[in-house]
């Protein structure tokens, strides 16, 4: 069976990109990364991709007239690579509704909170300020509204009494590195179906029981 070709969009260091690269290196993984695109030439993730022998491209958002022109250039590059799915991995640009519509249910993102809680930036600071007992991360299909769309997978991380934003972010990132490749596998295997605005994963069941924090 042919592997699903994926384009990954990044803006920075590419740690989630690396988790996808590592997963795709397995011979039995059902997806392969055809292209990594960054809007910043200095993004560390481009070096990660090059080291793995993956094609890269830089599309500078400052070098085009507007968001629509930038997204049009993105779309051309992705389609030229043969990719059938787009993965956002720390891509710090807002996409136009037209681009999102063109890739509807074929574009996924990972966000460092348990959506719909704390969309946008500074998620860990906001979770700590709110006194949350759990934080986490979410893989979801992308919609035009920021950090919305059918949820594919989530991972919860207990918040410790001595946590700060840095320590919490580090543990959440470890969870991100686990669930993003897992969600990509499910999508590539054709196990994820969007019904309305909910994503159903065939053969996947929720664990029994509950996590309790604090567990005193």
Q: Residue range 44-69: average pLDDT?
A: 97
Please count the CA atoms within 13 angstroms of the CA of 41 that sit on its side-chain side: 3
- In angstroms, the CA 21 to CA 33 distance is 7
Q: Would residue 111 show up in a list of annotated catalytic residues for this protein?
A: yes
- 97 shares its domain with 2: yes
User: Residue 210 domain-assigned?
Assistant: no
CATH of the domain at 65: 3.40.50.170
- 98 shares its domain with 8: yes
- 173 shares its domain with 158: yes
What is the residue whose two structure tokens read 């490749």?
181
User: Residue 174 domain-assigned?
Assistant: yes
Among candidates 65, 62, 74, which has minimal Cα distance to 98? 74
- In angstroms, the CA 85 to CA 119 distance is 23
- In angstroms, the CA 154 to CA 125 distance is 19
Given the residues 61, 111, 124, 177, select the one marked as catalytic. Answer: 111
Among candidates 84, 17, 87, 2, which has minimal Cα distance to 52? 17
User: Residue 214 domain-assigned?
Assistant: no
Give the three-state DSSP class for 3.
coil
- The domain of 27 spans 1-103
List helix spans (H) across 137-189. 165-188
Each residue's pLDDT tens digit, 82-104: 999 999 999 999 999 999 999 99
DSSP 15-57: HHHHHHHHHHTSTT-SEEEEEEEES-TT-HHHHHHHHTT--EE
Domain end marker among 103, 138, 157: 103
pLDDT at residue 137 is higher than 90: yes
Domain end marker among 55, 70, 103: 103
Q: Residue range 44-57: average pLDDT?
A: 98
CB 127 within 8 A of CB 113: yes
pLDDT confidence of residue 92 = 96
- 114 shares its domain with 44: no
- 3 shares its domain with 98: yes
Each residue's pLDDT tens digit, 102-125: 999 999 999 999 999 999 999 999
Tokens read off for 104? 């509807």
pLDDT confidence of residue 67 = 96
- 66 shares its domain with 114: no
User: Residue 147 domain-assigned?
Assistant: yes
- In angstroms, the CA 108 to CA 141 distance is 4
Number of domains in the chain: 2
- 131 shares its domain with 94: no
- 124 shares its domain with 192: yes
- 197 shares its domain with 129: yes
User: Residue 208 domain-assigned?
Assistant: no
- 129 shares its domain with 151: yes
pLDDT confidence of residue 216 = 79
Q: Residue range 48-75: average pLDDT?
A: 97
Each residue's pLDDT tens digit, 153-165: 999 999 999 999 9
């Amino acid at each position: 069976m042919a592997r699903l070709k994926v384009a990954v969009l990044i803006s920075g260091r590419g740690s989630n990109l690396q988790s996808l690269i590592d997963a795709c290196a397995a011979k039995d993984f059902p997806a392969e990364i055809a292209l990594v695109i960054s809007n910043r030439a200095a993004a560390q993730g481009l070096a990660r991709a090059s080291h793995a022998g993956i094609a890269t491209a830089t599309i500078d958002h400052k070098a085009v007239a507007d968001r629509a022109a930038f997204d049009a250039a993105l779309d051309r590059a992705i389609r030229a690579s043969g990719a059938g799915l787009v993965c956002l991995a720390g891509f710090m640009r807002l996409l136009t509704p037209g681009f999102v519509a063109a890739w509807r249910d074929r574009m996924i993102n990972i966000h460092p909170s348990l959506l719909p809680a704390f969309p946008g930036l500074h998620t860990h600071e906001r979770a700590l300020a709110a006194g949350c007992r759990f934080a986490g991360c979410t893989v979801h299909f992308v919609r035009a509204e920021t950090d919305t769309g059918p949820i594919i997978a989530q991972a919860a991380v207990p918040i410790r009494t001595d946590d700060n934003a840095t320590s919490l972010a580090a543990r959440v990132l470890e969870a991100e590195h686990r669930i993003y490749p897992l969600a990509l596998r499910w999508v590539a295997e054709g196990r994820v179906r969007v019904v309305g605005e909910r994503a159903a994963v065939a053969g996947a069941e929720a664990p029994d029981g509950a996590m309790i924090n604090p567990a005193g």
